[in-house]
Structure 1
Amino acid sequence: MAQRRREYWAERSGAGRLPWRSSLLVAVFTQAATGWVHHLQPDREPVGVAGRLLLLLGPALLLLRHRYPVPVVYGVCAVTLVYLACGYPYGPVFISVALACFSAVVAGHRHAAWGAVGALWAGHLLIGHWLYRWLPPPGDGPAPWGTEGGVTAWVIAVLAASEVVRVRREQWARDRAERKAAERRRVDEERLRIARELHDVLAHSISVINVQAGVGLALLDTDHEQARTALTTIKAASKEALGEVRQVLNTLRAPGEAPRTPAPGLDRLSELIDQAAAAGLTVSVEGEAAARGLSPGTDLAAFRILQEALTNVVRHSGSRTARIRVTRPPGALELRVEDDGPATGGDAGGSGTGLIGMRERAAAQGGSIEAGPRPDGGFRVLARLPLGDTENSGNDGHTASGEDR
């Protein structure tokens, strides 16, 4: 946190540039106001050439307060202590101390600033109550304790103000870091969402194309009509995949615009079954009526989960049949996809992220996925997606699996 604070302060203060404007302003004001202050403190030493040089040395050190805050705060306090030891009048000289202390505390060197100002305060006490006998002005007595109280109050006020600003800047730095982290998370989540969408779109369509391409090659010389059918299926699957990919890419290019075509949902379940059939997979469905009245997010997630589950059957299962069961227990939508196996065990050419993508989609909706071998053989995917109050009220009593077959 201290390093982050220093980097933040360096960036905000322009550590690569010398703060000459503020330093010049302090120098001019100190020189002008000290002469006026001397009239209010006639018992102090007149500010001669040496005093003017000391008054210039403090603002000159302030030029380096952003690059070297610790040496500057100690240097300014030392110069101020020499100025006080020479018996010159109190007043504007302390502006340089306040500014140096402020810069050191805000830059994260609070202990150094406390130490430097504490040393100045202790030195002032020493001068005012012991060393005054040997220091100008001649015949000076011990400093009044009222003056010491004022100096002490000034030191506490400078340190307190610096700490308040430091805390505020730390909070700004934390807020900015949190905003950047949140932005990175949003970017990562959007990238994962796009990757998941593209995977689901392409995996299913390319699986169908792969199967049909194999059928077409095998029957090209023996059954021209069947080969033509396979090529027609390839054309339709590739056209649909291109359309969905184009929709995703259009969303990327114009993130503020609404999609030109609606996102797929379970109302397109029959198309999904037809595509699976074109890949040689026979799919039976139970509970289609339970898929009605879903929110867009739940509808899309359910469609993609079923799509990926069927794609995995095409790729990895030796079975040519699959069963989909859609149910609606209280507060949830359950999707069950089963096949009778066995697993092919060969390289299906996939990315290996299908189950991961399904789990991510379910988790994004607050749901879960259970996937694994069935006790009697084959494979089962069980997805559970929570439903909102509106979706539950639109259930119309469809909670069983076989009533609306």
Structure 2
Amino acid sequence: MGASAKWERGSVVQDWGLAVVVAVIQLVGSSVANSQQTGVRSLDAFAYLLLLAGPVALGFRRRLPEPVLAVTFLAAVAYVLGDYGYGPVVLSLVIAFLTAAVTGPRRRTYPVVAAGYVLMVWPLPALLGRHTDAWQIFGLLAWTALLVAIAEGARQRRAVVLARTQRAEAARRDEQAQQARAASEERLAIARELHDVLAHSLSLINVQSSVALELFDRKPQQAAAALATIKTTSKESLTEVHTLLHAIRSGATVAPEYPETEAVEPVPDTRSEPARPEPARPAPRTPTPTLDDLDALLEGTRTTGLDVDTKIIGTPKKLPSVIDVAAARIIGESLTNVVRHAPGSTAMITLRYTPQTVDITVDNTRPTGTAVRTGIGGNGIIGMRERAHALGGALTAGPRPSGGFRVAARLPARPAGSVDDGSTGARSKPAEGAEATA
């Protein structure tokens, strides 16, 4: 049985327990009060039925608060107007009113108090010849005002509790949403890391293995060179994969792959403080490529036979590490696509430095050979675009009218948080080439 079912069963037991207690009080109290009053009607079967009607209705007060209020009101009015003696007959009415007033609308519950005062206290009883005095007129008026004040206070308290509950629920949902976003971002970061680690290397291995198979009999020396490249590239890839898996299993953060500016660590003073254990550090990584290592980045691509030239416009400058690494990743992924999809073509890398941005353009000519087919599409262009957008930049990729393919990216010279508005808009045109898969 669930917690809600247990709570509901407990509420029913409480309501009927209260109904029994109220029934006893009304029956006994009204009998005593009626016997001590003169000029009133003796209690009969109808009077006892009215005295029991209110308590019985209280058993349903949580499920049907307004109908229960109506039943107890009619029973109390009928009892008083039936010329029976005053007594605790209104006890069930008070309880029903407090229940309905706290949960229901004011316009349907608060008028019951005024109607009850008019019908049972003054002026209707006086018009019917019932004895009324100043205490009844003014004293019970004060008690009815107090009853409304109690109902309003309980109503406000319930509203405060409900608001707190809603805020707590909203905070819980917001925390769950943040956790889901964090998990999604972490999965995306891991996927991007795996792609960056493996895509370029596996493409080189694929191309070099094709070259080795083709030249194995005719040009064994070139085939051996291709196999040596496969061995070196696969070893480096395995090292990267093992490092990444170690970082994931140890709980190290994967997303911030970019090197930060080195800081001089202060020498700890061990004279007054005990030695503290060093915090866990992320697993060591192979140095991340940057634009400073552009020649080294291109060396592996050139071993596949791709002719790559570079052109620099403007004065090269030191970029923030997050921008520098992203630029190198975009260049590497673009060249990987050229190797896979445009064999026999040549590539041109153009870097244009401005005070606000660094523009990267990777063009390749029309392919002259047969593209390497892996059987599946990739996410290279999607990943490059996500990387550029995350930094406040933009990236376009597409075929050139003259044949070939172009990848054009514009990255801010500073991280997005410090870039002036409008400085990162992309002016590069959609571009040219082989295939838009990566």
**Is TM > 0.5 for Structure 1 vs Structure 2?**
yes
Residue 339 of structure 2 corresponds to which residue in structure 1?
314
| Fraction of identical pairs, as percent | 31
* Higher Rg of the two aligned structures: 2
Q: Residue 88 of structure 1 aligns with which residue?
A: 88
| 8 Å Cα contact 2:308-2:349 kept in structure 1 | yes
**Aligned match of 1:7:** none
- Secondary structure, counterpart of 2:360 in structure 1: strand
Query: What pairs up with 1:257-268 in 2 under 5 angstroms?
Result: 257-261=281-285, 264-266=288-290, 267-268=292-293
String of CA shifts for 1:115-162, please: whole Å, max 9, x gaps.
xx654433343332125668xxx9465764444433333343333333
Q: Which amino acid aligns with 1:309?
A: S
Where do 5+ consecutive residues of structure 2 fail to align? 37-47, 80-86, 253-280, 419-438
How do 1:40-189 and structure 2 match up within 5 A? 58=58, 61=60, 71-74=63-66, 77-78=69-70, 81=73, 85=77, 87-88=87-88, 98=98, 113-114=104-105, 118-130=107-119, 139=130, 141=132, 144=138, 145-189=141-185
What is the alpha-carbon distance in structure 1 between the residues aligned to residue 239 and residue 107 of structure 2? 73
Larger RCO: Structure 1 or Structure 2 (Cα < 8 Å, ≥ 6 residues apart)?
A: 1
Tell me the equivalent position of 2:263.
none
Are 2:348 and 2:364, in contact at CA under 8 Å, matched by a contact in 1?
yes
CA apart distance, 1:50: 8.8
Instruction: Return closer, same or farther for 1:210/1:345 CA change in 2, 3 Å cut-off.
Output: closer
Of the three residues 351, 356, 361, the one matched with 2:377 is 351
Instruction: Spell out, residue by residue over 1:135-191, the C-alpha distance to the aligned partner (whole angstroms, 9 max, x if none).
Output: xxx946576444443333334333333333333333333332232222222222222
Check 1:290–1:195 CA distance in 2 against 1; reply closer, same or farther (3 A cut). farther
Q: Is the 8 A contact 2:313 2:353 kept in 1?
A: no
Which one of 209, 212, 218 corresponds to residue 214 of structure 2?
218
Opposite residue 255 of structure 1, the aligned amino acid is G
Counterpart CA distance in 1 for 2:160 and 2:417 is 51
Structure 1 segments unaligned to the other structure (5+ residues) = 1-10, 66-70, 105-112, 393-405
**Can you list the C-alpha shifts for 1:186-215, whole angstroms capped at 9, x where unaligned?**
222222222222223222111101111111
Q: With structure 2 as the length reference, what TM-score do the two structures score? A: 0.65
1:227-263 superposed Cα distances (whole Å, 9 cap, x missing partner): 2211111111112222222333233222345232256
Task: Give 1:328's aligned residue.
Answer: 353
Change beyond 3 A, Cα 1:190–1:275: same
Deviation, 1:386, is 1.3
Matched, 1:229 2:225: yes
How many residue pairs get aligned? The number is 354
Given that 1:208 and 1:234 are in contact with CA atoms closer than 8 Å, whether structure 2 keeps it comes out as: yes
- Corresponding residue for residue 235 of structure 2: 239
Give, in angstroms, the shift of residue 316 of structure 1.
1.7
2:399 alignment partner in structure 1: 373
The answer as to whether partners of 1:205 and 1:238 remain within 8 angstroms in 2 is yes
CA distance in 2, matches of 1:386, 1:140: 91
User: 1:25 deviation in Å?
Assistant: 7.8
Query: Kindly tell me: are residues 233 and 92 of structure 1, through their superposed partners in 2, closer, same or farther at Cα, counting changes over 3 Å?
Result: farther
2:367 and 2:379 mapped to 1: Cα distance? 20
The 3-state SS of whatever aligns with 2:283 is coil
d(CA) in 1 for partners of 2:11, 2:210: 79
Contact 2:54 2:93 survives alignment (8 Å)? no
SS of the residue aligned with 1:337?
strand
Q: Residues 385 and 24 of structure 1: is their aligned pair in 2 closer, same or farther, counting only changes over 3 Å?
A: same
Corresponding position: 1:273 with 2:298: yes
Q: Equivalent residue for 1:401?
A: none
Change (3 A) 1:21 1:53: farther
Q: Alpha carbon RMSD of aligned pairs, Å?
A: 4.4
Residue 373 of structure 2 aligns to a residue in which SS? Answer: coil
Q: Deviations over 1:268-294 (max 9, x none)?
A: 433321210122212223449977643
Tell me the distance in 1 between the aligned counterparts of 2:193 and 2:302: 22
- Residue in 2 that maps onto 1:108: none
More displaced stretch, 190-199 vs 124-133: 124-133
In structure 2, the residue matched to 1:6 is none
CA contact (8 A) 2:76 2:90 kept: yes
- Could you say which structure has the higher helix fraction? 1
